[in-house]
Amino acid sequence: MSTMTYKGYAARIEYSDEDACFIGRIAGIKDVIGFHAESVKALRTAFEEAVDDYLATCEKLARAPQKPYSGKVMLRLPPEVHARAAMMAEAHGMSLNQWAAEVLSKVS
């Protein structure tokens, strides 16, 4: 599985051997927006068209489009995990937020 991004939206991409095409779905929002194509180039175009169509449809309906995640995360951690994370951040000369963002960005 891979992803594509456009205008702040990300799409999960899968290949369907049965249909012999790539299938994409916009991730991170509750609205269901899908698209498909037989080549990567055509899939990119279909993805961008799907996002643009979604935004235009929301505008016509006078409805705010759903936004992907805000970037704000609230975690509840055991105190010992919180303390270790804070120590690791300080040891790397970073704030806890900076350190956590760096660590989490490496998770695939």
Single pTM value for the model: 0.67
Angle, vertex CA 28, rays to CA 18 and CA 101, nearest 5: 120
**108 band by pLDDT with thresholds 50, 70 and 90:** low
Q: How far apart are CA 48 and CA 10, in angstroms?
A: 10
The dihedral region occupied by 78, where left means phi > 0, alpha psi between -120 and 50, and beta the remainder, is beta
Percentage of the chain exceeding pLDDT 90: 79
Q: How far apart are CA 4 and CA 40, in angstroms?
A: 10
Percentage of the chain exceeding pLDDT 70: 98
CA neighbor of 31 nearest in space, from 71, 65, 74, 59: 65
Q: What is the pLDDT of residue 107?
A: 82
Q: How far apart are CA 29 and CA 12, in angstroms?
A: 12
Is the CB of residue 1 less than 8 Å from the CB of residue 49? no
